[in-house]
A and B are shown apart, each in its own frame.
Chain A
Amino acid sequence: MSNSPVTVEQHGPELLHHFVDAEQQRDAATLGMWLFLGTEIMFFGGMFCAYLIYRFWYYNEFAAGSRSLDIWLGTINTAVLICSSLTVALGVRAAQMGKRKLLVILLLLTIVFGLAFLGIKGVEWYQKFEEHHIPGPSFNVDDLVKAYPQIHIDPRHEQIYFSLYFAMTGLHALHMIIGVGLFVFLTYYAWKGRYTPKYYTPVEMGGLYWHFVDVVWIYLFPLLYLIDRKPLR
């Protein structure tokens, strides 16, 4: 390829010069994003491994800790994320069809849902703070020990549950914040008309990332909130 500008029919400013054509660029971006999501599976996976082992060892403490989480807020948050995945998917579709205004609305809705999720998470964390369930100097699970006299709760093991709870939901929340930030950029550029049926790759890639963060939560919810909600004998 000479150093002169590529003269391809669909060549717009978004075609980067080192690619042969727009299709190669889109295929590269897609593969790159999926590979990145693969690394994220391993990234969260390390924590899932720690969770798995300690859940086996300290089932009672994990169950008690799980019960102390607010199942209503957890379920609502799961629903919020599912709604956000819907708006993302509809948004990609709007971009495919060239519907700029609809795309912007859907992207904004996604951001709203994302912020709602973070807000609810903040409320949950604050609840944990008030209950002294945040690992650290003021950690105290006497309330759980008293609440479940029929099983033995070791506060040290309970602390492991909550450490993993905050580490896993914290890492997830960080990914949500990054996602919201990404979508702010996407919304701005969408509003500016940058995305057309011929070029909406960033929206698609942002969508893939957002869906992935949703899928992580889909697993975190039962693993953290639903360990043991059976009626106590």
Chain B
Amino acid sequence: MSEHIMSSKLYYTIWIALLCLTVVTAAVSFVDLGRFNTVIALVIATVKALLVVLFFMHVKYTSEKLTKVVIVSAIFWLFLLLVLSMADYATRLLS
């Protein structure tokens, strides 16, 4: 883990950004954008998650590659579960 001491200003900035994104995602859900509502909600959630992971959890500042490998692997594995399961559900009616 990095010894780099982050500036508290940066933390406050991220905090404000996270709060703003929260308000945005809640507000946008009231607007009818069809299928995009879900996409936007997940994109905003991912941006928020990235802010927490990269800055609050210091992943942006760590020199340890293994940390990033672990995070990416876990997320990738989750996607394996979701995608390969959906491969069954999405094609059932085609059979």
- Chain B 34-70 interface mask (CB, 8 Å, partner A; 1/0): 0001100110110011001101110000001011001
What residues of chain B lie closer than 8 Å to A221, measured between beta carbons?
A: 22, 25, 45
A110 within 8 Å of B by Cβ? no
Interface of B is mostly: helix
Q: Which residue of A lies closest to B59 (CB)?
A: A34
Contact A97 B5 (CB under 8 A): yes
Interface residue total, chain B, C-beta cutoff 8 A: 47
The minimal Cβ–Cβ distance linking B5 to chain A, given in whole angstroms, is 5
A204 within 8 Å of B by Cβ? yes
A123 within 8 Å of B by Cβ? no
Which of A35, A78, A90 is in CB contact (< 8 Å) with B11? Answer: A90
Contact A219 B85 (CB under 8 A): no
| Bound Cα distance A61, B45 (Å) | 23
Contact B8 A93 (CB under 8 A): yes
The minimal Cβ–Cβ distance linking B55 to chain A, given in whole angstroms, is 8
Q: Which residue of B lies closest to A36 (CB)?
A: B70
A214 within 8 Å of B by Cβ? yes
Contact A49 B45 (CB under 8 A): no
B94 within 8 Å of A by Cβ? no
Which of A41, A218, A223 is in CB contact (< 8 Å) with B75? Answer: A41
Contact A38/B45 with A53-B85, A97-B5, A208-B57 known, Cβ cut-off 8 Å:
no
| Bound Cα distance A231, B32 (Å) | 7
By a beta-carbon cutoff of 8 Å, the part of chain B in contact with chain A is 1, 3, 5-6, 8, 11-12, 14-15, 18-19, 22-23, 25-26, 29-32, 37-38, 41-42, 44-45, 48-49, 52-53, 55-57, 64, 66-67, 70-71, 73-75, 77-78, 81-82, 85-86, 89
* Given A30-B1, A31-B67, 17 extra CB contacts under 8 A: A27-B1, A30-B64, A31-B70, A37-B74, A38-B73, A41-B75, A45-B77, A49-B82, A56-B89, A82-B22, A93-B6, A204-B1, A218-B49, A221-B45, A222-B41, A229-B30, A230-B31
Contact A85 B52 (CB under 8 A): yes
Interface of A is mostly: helix
* A-B residue pair count with CB separations less than 8 angstroms: 130
| Bound Cα distance A30, B58 (Å) | 12
Interface residue total, chain A, C-beta cutoff 8 A: 51
Contact B37 A230 (CB under 8 A): yes
A46 within 8 Å of B by Cβ? yes
Complex interface residues of chain A between 204 and 219 (CB less than 8 A to chain B)? 204, 207-208, 211-212, 214-215, 218-219
Q: Which residue of B lies closest to A229 (CB)?
A: B29
Contact B41 A52 (CB under 8 A): no
Which of B15, B26, B41, B78 is in CB contact (< 8 Å) with A82? Answer: B15
Contact A48/B78 with A34-B71, A218-B45, A226-B25 known, Cβ cut-off 8 Å:
yes
- Among B67, B74, B81, chain A packs the most CB atoms within 10 A around the CB of B74
